[in-house]
Structure 1
Amino acid sequence: MRPDTGPLRVMIGAGEQRWDGWIATQREDLDLLDPDSWAAWFGNRRADALLCEHVWEHLSEAQGRAAARVCFEFLKPGGVLRVAVPDANFPDAGYQRTVQVGGPGPADHPAADHQIVYDAPLLADVFRGAGFTVELLEYCDALGHFHATDWDLGTGPVYRSLRLDHRNAGGKLGCVSIILDATRPSGEQS
């Protein structure tokens, strides 16, 4: 349920994930490809922040670009959309098999409907193309080198990140994501 007052921080496609201060939604609430579902859910309000962890890879690139435009429309000027997706440049064969387009196995595997595996430049372009300014927070470059900035978990925690994922213990990278912040410029009208 959407609150009528206070900051509006919304997780899109949350699955079982829950974070304090964030409203968890599913496709039935907010369909990234259906602006009418967003208009009905938000009414006249706009989000202060949006969080979307490992959802964009379930859309084609064209659908991802359309979804970025929907998020832009329903985010306040100055608001941030934090997105995390699997990283095409993470140099681990097991990871790449797990996140590959179509998934590694049966139709009920979480990756079975992956449509794309992004690299950081392409993901950033998806959001810049919708009007956002973009800051990459975590990603692997084309050579497979991992880059991370010190970002604030309070502004949108991502479990599949350097700091939170249990597979990244003891200085070993076991699971990474491309994580970016897409900010709606403050001068834009909502």
Structure 2
Amino acid sequence: MMEPFQVIIGAGEQRWNGWQPTERADLDLTDRASFERFFGTRRADAFLCEHVWEHLTEAEGRAAARLCFEFLRPGGWLRCAVPDANFPDAEYQRTVQVGGPGPTDHPAADHRIVYDFRLLRDVFESAGFEVKLLEYCDEQGHFHAEDWEIESGPIYRSLRMDHRNREGKLGFVSLILEARKPGAKEPAKENPAES
């Protein structure tokens, strides 16, 4: 049995067992040709993308979601994490704001958007995905977390993994969703009574 083809988009320093890390030079979310070169006729079983989508405009993010949908096998999925526009912490919001808080070498210097759960969910649903929110803050700033398997696609900046979230205190959260491409339909089974 072949190992699943699991790809980290914009991996940076992330290395997870069973996942192939890529950078923009390998796989550019804004460039269809880079996907065609990277994948050829093969399709990914899963994508992992932590704090990358906010570096795209909304229009680029929507196009990128469609591109990922196309290059996933039926039943494949994408786990995406971005800064959360509804997390009620002023310093967090200053740090993740569009344009970043300071020098051009700051990680947020080229943030183009800060998503709330409704907008991010719509970006992926409009591309054809079935979306499940894993971690997010609602409009009142209340944090919600579903139980999800870290082993199936780790997101460091999450409730259970981030060192800033300890002893019941939320220091840094992400808006995390899982977007699944609907699987191929099974062929209709013959009804033995009709044979």
TM-score (norm 1): 0.95
Return 5+ residue gaps in structure 1 as ranges.
none
SS in 1 for 2:75: strand
CA distance in 1, matches of 2:17, 2:3: 14
Pick which of 179-188 and 103-112 moved more.
179-188
User: Which residue of the partner structure matches residue 123 of structure 1?
Assistant: 120
Q: Deviations over 1:50-91 (max 9, x none)?
A: 000000000000000000011001001000100000000000
Q: Distance in 1 between matches of 2:72 and 2:184?
A: 13
* Counterpart-to-counterpart distance in 2, 1:91 and 1:64: 24
> Is 1:57 the equivalent of 2:54?
yes
Q: Secondary structure at the match of 2:167?
A: helix
1:156-185 per-position Cα deviation (integer Å, ceiling 9, x unaligned):
100000000000011100000000000000
Counterpart of 1:95, as a letter, is Y
Aligned AA for 1:97? R
- Separation (CA, whole Å) in 2 of partners of 1:6 and 1:120: 32
1:12 paired to 2:6: no
1:49-128 alignment to 2 at 5 Å? 49-128=46-125
Aligned to 1:47: 44
* Aligned equivalents of 1:6, 1:105: Cα separation in 2: 43
Deviation at 1:35, TM superposition (A): 1.0
SS at match of 2:164: helix
Q: Counterpart of 1:162? A: 159
Count of residue pairs the alignment pairs up: 184
Equivalent-residue separation in structure 2 for 1:155 and 1:69 (angstroms): 22
Q: Identity of aligned pairs, percent?
A: 71
**Aligned twin of 2:188:** none
- Structure 1's consecutive aligned runs of 4 or more residues displaced over 3 angstroms after TM superposition are none
TM-score, normalization: structure 2?
A: 0.93
Pair member with larger Rg: 2
The residue identity in structure 2 corresponding to 1:155 is S
Q: Note the C-alpha offset of 1:6.
A: 2.3
